[in-house]
Amino acid sequence: MNAWYLAWCNMLRNRRRSLVTVLIAALGCFSVLVACGFALHTYQMLEEGAAREFGHITVTTPELGKRHEEKPMQYGIDHYRPLIRDLASVPHVTELLPKIALSGLISNGDNSIPFVGYGIETDKVLATLGSLITIEQQVPPSTWHEQGALLGSTLAKQLNVQVGDAVTLLAATTEGSMNALDLVVNGIVSTGWQEVDARLVYLSVEHAQQLLLTDRISSFSILLDEMGATATTVAELASTYPAYQFTPWWERSFYYQSVRSLYDRIFGLLGIIIAMLVFFSMSNTLGMAVTERTREIGTLRALGTYPREIVLQFWHEGILIGALGTVIGTGLALLVVVLLPFAGLEMPPPPGRTIGYPLLIKASLPLYLITTLTIITVCGLAAWYVSRKASRKPIVEALTHV
Protein backbone atom coordinates (compact mmCIF):
# COMPACT_ATOMS: atom_id res chain seq x y z
CA MET A 1 0.00 0.00 0.00
CA ASN A 2 1.25 3.48 -0.85
CA ALA A 3 2.87 5.10 2.19
CA TRP A 4 1.26 8.49 1.55
CA TYR A 5 -2.20 6.98 1.16
CA LEU A 6 -1.69 5.06 4.41
CA ALA A 7 -0.63 8.29 6.13
CA TRP A 8 -3.78 9.99 4.81
CA CYS A 9 -5.97 7.18 6.16
CA ASN A 10 -4.26 7.37 9.55
CA MET A 11 -4.88 11.14 9.63
CA LEU A 12 -8.59 10.55 9.07
CA ARG A 13 -8.85 8.28 12.11
CA ASN A 14 -9.30 11.37 14.24
CA ARG A 15 -10.43 14.09 11.88
CA ARG A 16 -10.97 16.78 14.51
CA ARG A 17 -7.52 16.41 16.03
CA SER A 18 -5.82 16.29 12.64
CA LEU A 19 -7.78 19.33 11.45
CA VAL A 20 -6.72 21.36 14.49
CA THR A 21 -3.08 20.43 13.90
CA VAL A 22 -3.28 21.33 10.21
CA LEU A 23 -4.82 24.69 11.11
CA ILE A 24 -2.05 25.37 13.65
CA ALA A 25 0.57 24.65 10.98
CA ALA A 26 -1.37 26.88 8.56
CA LEU A 27 -1.58 29.68 11.13
CA GLY A 28 2.14 29.42 11.81
CA CYS A 29 2.96 29.55 8.10
CA PHE A 30 0.55 32.44 7.54
CA SER A 31 1.94 34.43 10.48
CA VAL A 32 5.54 34.07 9.33
CA LEU A 33 4.73 35.01 5.73
CA VAL A 34 2.69 38.07 6.70
CA ALA A 35 5.16 39.32 9.33
CA CYS A 36 8.23 38.79 7.14
CA GLY A 37 6.36 40.18 4.12
CA PHE A 38 5.71 43.36 6.09
CA ALA A 39 9.41 43.55 7.00
CA LEU A 40 10.45 43.03 3.36
CA HIS A 41 8.08 45.79 2.23
CA THR A 42 9.53 48.10 4.89
CA TYR A 43 13.06 47.28 3.72
CA GLN A 44 12.08 48.02 0.13
CA MET A 45 10.57 51.39 1.05
CA LEU A 46 13.63 52.35 3.10
CA GLU A 47 15.99 51.26 0.31
CA GLU A 48 14.14 53.31 -2.29
CA GLY A 49 13.91 56.26 0.10
CA ALA A 50 17.63 56.15 0.89
CA ALA A 51 18.54 55.89 -2.79
CA ARG A 52 16.37 58.93 -3.55
CA GLU A 53 17.65 60.97 -0.62
CA PHE A 54 21.38 60.25 -0.91
CA GLY A 55 21.56 58.95 -4.45
CA HIS A 56 22.63 55.40 -5.22
CA ILE A 57 26.25 56.56 -4.93
CA THR A 58 27.67 59.62 -3.19
CA VAL A 59 30.95 61.10 -4.47
CA THR A 60 33.19 63.01 -2.06
CA THR A 61 36.87 63.57 -1.43
CA PRO A 62 38.51 60.88 0.74
CA GLU A 63 39.19 63.39 3.52
CA LEU A 64 35.55 64.42 3.97
CA GLY A 65 34.07 62.58 6.91
CA LYS A 66 37.45 61.36 8.14
CA ARG A 67 38.84 64.73 9.19
CA HIS A 68 37.28 67.71 10.90
CA GLU A 69 36.87 70.70 8.61
CA GLU A 70 38.40 73.79 10.18
CA LYS A 71 36.71 75.93 7.52
CA PRO A 72 33.59 75.31 5.42
CA MET A 73 34.25 73.38 2.20
CA GLN A 74 37.86 72.67 3.22
CA TYR A 75 37.55 69.14 1.83
CA GLY A 76 35.05 69.94 -0.91
CA ILE A 77 35.33 68.83 -4.54
CA ASP A 78 37.17 71.31 -6.74
CA HIS A 79 36.76 71.50 -10.54
CA TYR A 80 33.80 69.17 -10.37
CA ARG A 81 32.14 69.98 -13.71
CA PRO A 82 34.61 67.97 -15.88
CA LEU A 83 34.22 65.02 -13.49
CA ILE A 84 30.43 65.17 -13.78
CA ARG A 85 30.70 65.18 -17.58
CA ASP A 86 32.96 62.12 -17.48
CA LEU A 87 30.72 60.20 -15.07
CA ALA A 88 27.61 60.94 -17.15
CA SER A 89 28.86 58.43 -19.74
CA VAL A 90 29.31 55.58 -17.25
CA PRO A 91 26.85 52.68 -17.81
CA HIS A 92 23.69 52.72 -15.63
CA VAL A 93 24.21 56.40 -14.63
CA THR A 94 21.07 58.46 -15.27
CA GLU A 95 21.58 61.65 -13.23
CA LEU A 96 24.32 63.50 -11.33
CA LEU A 97 23.26 66.04 -8.72
CA PRO A 98 25.82 68.38 -7.06
CA LYS A 99 25.21 69.28 -3.44
CA ILE A 100 26.61 71.78 -0.96
CA ALA A 101 25.99 71.30 2.76
CA LEU A 102 26.01 74.44 4.89
CA SER A 103 24.68 75.76 8.16
CA GLY A 104 24.22 79.08 9.89
CA LEU A 105 21.42 81.43 10.91
CA ILE A 106 18.27 82.35 9.02
CA SER A 107 16.43 85.57 9.87
CA ASN A 108 13.20 87.29 8.86
CA GLY A 109 14.38 90.59 10.35
CA ASP A 110 12.78 90.02 13.76
CA ASN A 111 13.87 86.50 14.64
CA SER A 112 16.97 84.40 13.91
CA ILE A 113 17.01 80.59 13.96
CA PRO A 114 19.79 78.07 13.20
CA PHE A 115 19.36 76.29 9.87
CA VAL A 116 20.87 73.38 8.00
CA GLY A 117 20.91 74.11 4.28
CA TYR A 118 21.64 72.33 1.04
CA GLY A 119 22.70 73.91 -2.18
CA ILE A 120 21.04 71.77 -4.85
CA GLU A 121 19.48 71.80 -8.28
CA THR A 122 16.02 72.32 -6.81
CA ASP A 123 13.82 71.12 -9.67
CA LYS A 124 15.80 67.90 -10.22
CA VAL A 125 16.03 67.09 -6.51
CA LEU A 126 12.30 67.60 -5.96
CA ALA A 127 11.56 65.31 -8.89
CA THR A 128 13.98 62.71 -7.50
CA LEU A 129 12.60 62.79 -3.97
CA GLY A 130 9.05 62.37 -5.23
CA SER A 131 6.74 61.18 -2.44
CA LEU A 132 9.50 61.60 0.18
CA ILE A 133 8.87 65.34 0.27
CA THR A 134 5.57 67.24 0.35
CA ILE A 135 5.26 70.73 -1.09
CA GLU A 136 2.84 72.51 1.24
CA GLN A 137 3.05 75.94 -0.40
CA GLN A 138 4.83 77.24 -3.47
CA VAL A 139 4.62 79.76 -6.24
CA PRO A 140 4.37 78.31 -9.76
CA PRO A 141 7.84 77.09 -10.86
CA SER A 142 7.67 79.37 -13.91
CA THR A 143 7.47 82.41 -11.61
CA TRP A 144 10.06 81.34 -9.03
CA HIS A 145 12.21 84.19 -7.81
CA GLU A 146 15.79 83.83 -9.07
CA GLN A 147 17.10 84.58 -5.59
CA GLY A 148 14.77 82.01 -4.00
CA ALA A 149 14.78 79.19 -1.47
CA LEU A 150 12.59 76.42 -0.07
CA LEU A 151 12.02 76.27 3.70
CA GLY A 152 10.99 73.40 5.94
CA SER A 153 7.41 73.71 7.20
CA THR A 154 8.32 73.88 10.91
CA LEU A 155 11.07 76.42 10.23
CA ALA A 156 8.63 78.60 8.26
CA LYS A 157 6.17 78.52 11.16
CA GLN A 158 8.87 79.47 13.65
CA LEU A 159 9.89 82.42 11.47
CA ASN A 160 6.26 83.23 10.66
CA VAL A 161 7.00 83.59 6.95
CA GLN A 162 4.91 82.70 3.90
CA VAL A 163 5.66 82.16 0.24
CA GLY A 164 7.00 85.42 -1.23
CA ASP A 165 8.47 86.72 2.04
CA ALA A 166 12.15 87.68 2.27
CA VAL A 167 14.66 85.95 4.54
CA THR A 168 18.37 86.39 5.16
CA LEU A 169 20.94 83.61 5.54
CA LEU A 170 24.07 84.21 7.59
CA ALA A 171 26.94 81.69 7.42
CA ALA A 172 30.69 81.39 7.86
CA THR A 173 32.63 81.53 4.59
CA THR A 174 35.62 79.49 3.47
CA GLU A 175 37.80 82.46 4.41
CA GLY A 176 36.62 82.39 8.01
CA SER A 177 34.50 85.55 7.79
CA MET A 178 30.72 85.92 7.95
CA ASN A 179 28.58 86.52 4.91
CA ALA A 180 24.88 87.21 4.40
CA LEU A 181 22.55 86.44 1.50
CA ASP A 182 19.00 87.71 0.95
CA LEU A 183 16.53 85.21 -0.46
CA VAL A 184 12.83 85.00 -1.22
CA VAL A 185 10.72 82.04 -0.05
CA ASN A 186 9.63 80.22 -3.20
CA GLY A 187 8.02 77.34 -1.35
CA ILE A 188 7.45 75.54 1.95
CA VAL A 189 8.11 71.79 2.08
CA SER A 190 7.83 68.93 4.54
CA THR A 191 9.99 65.82 4.70
CA GLY A 192 7.88 64.12 7.36
CA TRP A 193 10.73 64.42 9.90
CA GLN A 194 9.90 67.13 12.43
CA GLU A 195 13.51 67.77 13.43
CA VAL A 196 14.55 68.12 9.79
CA ASP A 197 11.63 70.42 8.92
CA ALA A 198 12.61 72.69 11.81
CA ARG A 199 16.04 73.44 10.23
CA LEU A 200 15.75 72.71 6.51
CA VAL A 201 16.62 75.25 3.80
CA TYR A 202 17.04 74.40 0.12
CA LEU A 203 18.75 76.94 -2.15
CA SER A 204 20.52 76.72 -5.48
CA VAL A 205 24.11 75.56 -5.82
CA GLU A 206 25.15 78.98 -7.16
CA HIS A 207 23.61 80.86 -4.23
CA ALA A 208 25.20 78.47 -1.73
CA GLN A 209 28.59 79.05 -3.36
CA GLN A 210 27.94 82.79 -3.30
CA LEU A 211 27.13 82.65 0.41
CA LEU A 212 30.21 80.57 1.27
CA LEU A 213 32.51 82.41 -1.20
CA THR A 214 33.65 79.20 -2.90
CA ASP A 215 33.50 77.45 -6.25
CA ARG A 216 33.57 73.97 -4.69
CA ILE A 217 30.77 71.54 -3.83
CA SER A 218 30.53 69.21 -0.83
CA SER A 219 29.55 66.15 -2.85
CA PHE A 220 27.36 65.00 -5.68
CA SER A 221 24.90 62.16 -5.93
CA ILE A 222 24.85 59.58 -8.71
CA LEU A 223 21.47 58.10 -9.64
CA LEU A 224 21.39 54.77 -11.46
CA ASP A 225 18.76 53.12 -13.63
CA GLU A 226 18.59 50.09 -11.30
CA MET A 227 19.33 49.49 -7.64
CA GLY A 228 21.14 46.22 -8.27
CA ALA A 229 23.89 47.94 -10.25
CA THR A 230 25.11 49.96 -7.26
CA ALA A 231 27.82 47.59 -5.99
CA THR A 232 29.38 46.92 -9.39
CA THR A 233 29.27 50.61 -10.34
CA VAL A 234 30.96 51.62 -7.06
CA ALA A 235 33.75 49.10 -7.65
CA GLU A 236 34.21 50.29 -11.25
CA LEU A 237 34.31 53.98 -10.33
CA ALA A 238 36.62 53.45 -7.35
CA SER A 239 39.20 51.75 -9.58
CA THR A 240 38.86 54.36 -12.36
CA TYR A 241 38.87 57.47 -10.12
CA PRO A 242 41.05 56.67 -7.07
CA ALA A 243 41.24 60.37 -6.09
CA TYR A 244 37.57 60.33 -4.99
CA GLN A 245 35.49 58.46 -2.45
CA PHE A 246 32.45 56.57 -3.80
CA THR A 247 29.99 55.58 -1.07
CA PRO A 248 26.93 53.37 -1.77
CA TRP A 249 23.56 54.39 -0.37
CA TRP A 250 23.44 51.70 2.35
CA GLU A 251 26.57 53.07 4.03
CA ARG A 252 25.02 56.53 4.32
CA SER A 253 21.52 55.51 5.41
CA PHE A 254 21.98 54.84 9.12
CA TYR A 255 18.23 54.82 9.67
CA TYR A 256 17.84 51.97 7.17
CA GLN A 257 20.60 49.99 8.86
CA SER A 258 19.06 50.51 12.33
CA VAL A 259 15.55 49.54 11.24
CA ARG A 260 16.76 46.47 9.36
CA SER A 261 18.88 45.31 12.30
CA LEU A 262 15.91 45.76 14.68
CA TYR A 263 13.39 44.03 12.39
CA ASP A 264 15.76 41.13 11.70
CA ARG A 265 15.95 40.41 15.41
CA ILE A 266 12.22 40.89 16.07
CA PHE A 267 10.96 38.77 13.20
CA GLY A 268 13.74 36.22 13.61
CA LEU A 269 12.64 35.66 17.21
CA LEU A 270 8.99 35.56 16.08
CA GLY A 271 9.84 32.86 13.54
CA ILE A 272 11.59 30.75 16.19
CA ILE A 273 8.62 31.03 18.55
CA ILE A 274 6.16 30.04 15.81
CA ALA A 275 8.33 27.07 14.79
CA MET A 276 8.39 25.89 18.43
CA LEU A 277 4.59 26.21 18.70
CA VAL A 278 4.13 24.14 15.53
CA PHE A 279 6.65 21.56 16.79
CA PHE A 280 4.95 21.09 20.17
CA SER A 281 1.48 21.04 18.62
CA MET A 282 2.54 18.36 16.16
CA SER A 283 4.28 16.44 18.94
CA ASN A 284 1.10 16.54 21.03
CA THR A 285 -1.12 15.36 18.17
CA LEU A 286 1.12 12.52 17.03
CA GLY A 287 2.01 11.68 20.63
CA MET A 288 -1.66 10.92 21.33
CA ALA A 289 -1.85 8.96 18.06
CA VAL A 290 1.19 6.91 19.05
CA THR A 291 -0.33 6.15 22.48
CA GLU A 292 -3.63 5.05 20.92
CA ARG A 293 -1.86 2.85 18.38
CA THR A 294 0.69 1.24 20.68
CA ARG A 295 -0.92 -2.21 20.42
CA GLU A 296 -1.10 -1.78 16.65
CA ILE A 297 2.61 -0.94 16.65
CA GLY A 298 3.28 -4.10 18.68
CA THR A 299 1.29 -6.17 16.18
CA LEU A 300 3.23 -4.72 13.27
CA ARG A 301 6.48 -5.42 15.06
CA ALA A 302 5.36 -9.03 15.71
CA LEU A 303 4.67 -9.40 11.99
CA GLY A 304 8.26 -8.39 11.22
CA THR A 305 8.03 -4.64 10.66
CA TYR A 306 11.28 -2.84 11.50
CA PRO A 307 11.30 0.07 13.99
CA ARG A 308 12.50 2.44 11.27
CA GLU A 309 9.47 1.50 9.17
CA ILE A 310 7.16 2.39 12.08
CA VAL A 311 8.91 5.73 12.44
CA LEU A 312 8.64 6.28 8.70
CA GLN A 313 4.86 5.81 8.85
CA PHE A 314 4.47 8.55 11.43
CA TRP A 315 7.00 10.70 9.58
CA HIS A 316 4.80 10.53 6.50
CA GLU A 317 1.84 11.68 8.60
CA GLY A 318 3.81 14.62 9.98
CA ILE A 319 5.01 15.67 6.52
CA LEU A 320 1.48 15.40 5.13
CA ILE A 321 0.02 17.52 7.93
CA GLY A 322 2.79 20.10 7.47
CA ALA A 323 2.26 20.19 3.70
CA LEU A 324 -1.50 20.71 4.04
CA GLY A 325 -0.91 23.44 6.63
CA THR A 326 1.58 25.30 4.44
CA VAL A 327 -0.74 25.15 1.42
CA ILE A 328 -3.55 26.73 3.45
CA GLY A 329 -1.24 29.27 5.12
CA THR A 330 0.40 30.26 1.82
CA GLY A 331 -2.99 30.70 0.16
CA LEU A 332 -4.22 32.95 2.97
CA ALA A 333 -1.00 35.01 2.89
CA LEU A 334 -1.29 35.53 -0.88
CA LEU A 335 -4.90 36.57 -0.42
CA VAL A 336 -3.81 39.22 2.09
CA VAL A 337 -1.08 40.44 -0.27
CA VAL A 338 -3.63 40.91 -3.07
CA LEU A 339 -6.44 42.47 -1.02
CA LEU A 340 -4.47 44.68 1.40
CA PRO A 341 -3.68 47.47 -1.14
CA PHE A 342 -7.42 47.97 -1.65
CA ALA A 343 -8.03 48.37 2.10
CA GLY A 344 -6.11 51.66 2.26
CA LEU A 345 -4.68 50.91 5.72
CA GLU A 346 -1.78 52.99 7.03
CA MET A 347 0.78 52.50 9.77
CA PRO A 348 1.08 55.27 12.38
CA PRO A 349 4.05 57.64 12.03
CA PRO A 350 7.34 56.16 13.31
CA PRO A 351 9.14 57.97 16.14
CA GLY A 352 10.34 61.37 14.95
CA ARG A 353 8.07 61.47 11.90
CA THR A 354 4.83 63.34 11.32
CA ILE A 355 3.31 61.15 8.59
CA GLY A 356 2.56 57.44 8.38
CA TYR A 357 3.04 55.03 5.49
CA PRO A 358 0.85 52.44 3.72
CA LEU A 359 0.47 49.03 5.35
CA LEU A 360 1.42 46.57 2.61
CA ILE A 361 2.82 43.05 2.47
CA LYS A 362 5.43 41.93 -0.04
CA ALA A 363 5.32 38.44 -1.58
CA SER A 364 8.75 36.92 -2.07
CA LEU A 365 9.35 33.52 -3.67
CA PRO A 366 12.48 32.73 -1.57
CA LEU A 367 10.59 33.67 1.61
CA TYR A 368 7.64 31.43 0.69
CA LEU A 369 9.91 28.49 -0.20
CA ILE A 370 12.02 28.79 2.96
CA THR A 371 8.95 29.15 5.21
CA THR A 372 7.16 26.21 3.59
CA LEU A 373 10.18 23.92 3.83
CA THR A 374 10.82 24.99 7.43
CA ILE A 375 7.25 24.25 8.57
CA ILE A 376 7.23 20.87 6.80
CA THR A 377 10.65 20.02 8.27
CA VAL A 378 9.50 20.97 11.79
CA CYS A 379 6.43 18.72 11.41
CA GLY A 380 8.61 15.88 10.18
CA LEU A 381 11.02 16.28 13.10
CA ALA A 382 8.11 16.28 15.57
CA ALA A 383 6.77 13.04 14.06
CA TRP A 384 10.20 11.41 14.28
CA TYR A 385 10.66 12.59 17.87
CA VAL A 386 7.40 11.17 19.24
CA SER A 387 7.44 7.88 17.31
CA ARG A 388 11.02 6.70 17.81
CA LYS A 389 10.49 5.64 21.45
CA ALA A 390 7.26 3.71 20.74
CA SER A 391 8.84 1.92 17.77
CA ARG A 392 11.58 0.50 20.02
CA LYS A 393 9.26 -0.66 22.78
CA PRO A 394 9.45 -4.45 23.39
CA ILE A 395 6.82 -6.31 21.40
CA VAL A 396 5.25 -8.03 24.42
CA GLU A 397 4.97 -4.74 26.32
CA ALA A 398 3.43 -3.01 23.29
CA LEU A 399 0.86 -5.83 22.78
CA THR A 400 -0.26 -5.70 26.41
CA HIS A 401 -0.48 -1.87 26.48
CA VAL A 402 -3.76 -0.56 27.81
Residue 248 lies in a domain: no
Strands 57-60 and 148-152: unpaired
pLDDT > 80? residue 14: no
CA 19, chain centre distance (Å): 36
264 plus 202 within the same structural domain: no
> pLDDT for 335-384, tens place per residue?
999 999 898 888 887 776 777 788 889 999 999 999 999 999 998 888 88
31 plus 83 within the same structural domain: no
Residues in the chain: 402
b/e code 43-74 from CB counts within 10 Å (16+ = b): bebbbebbbbbbbbbbbbbeebeeeeeeebbe
Q: Which domain covers residue 169, as residue numbers?
A: 62-243
Q: Give which of 210, 212, 207, 194 is closest to 158, Cα–Cα.
A: 194
278 plus 395 within the same structural domain: yes
CA 308, chain centre distance (Å): 46
> pLDDT for 224-272, tens place per residue?
988 888 999 999 998 988 888 999 998 888 888 888 888 889 988 988 9
Q: Is the dihedral of CA 314, 315, 318, 324 positive or negative?
A: negative
> pLDDT for 43-87, tens place per residue?
988 888 888 888 899 999 888 877 777 788 888 888 888 888 888
Number of domains in the chain: 2
The amino acid sitting at 230 is T
What pLDDT sits at residue 1?
A: 52
pTM for this structure? 0.81
Residue 275 lies in a domain: yes
Residue 55 lies in a domain: no
Last residue of a domain, one of 190, 214, 243: 243
- SS3 of residue 74 by DSSP: coil
Calculate the dihedral angle through the C-alpha atoms of 27, 30, 36, 42, rounding to the nearest 10 degrees. Answer: -120
What pLDDT sits at residue 73?
A: 85
Within 13 A of 192's CA, how many CA atoms are on the CB side? 15
Residue 360 lies in a domain: yes
222 plus 370 within the same structural domain: no
pLDDT > 70? residue 170: yes
- SS3 of residue 114 by DSSP: strand
194 plus 121 within the same structural domain: yes
Query: Cα–Cα–Cα angle for 25, 31, 33, nearest 5°?
Result: 105
Neighbours of 402 (CB within 10 A): 4
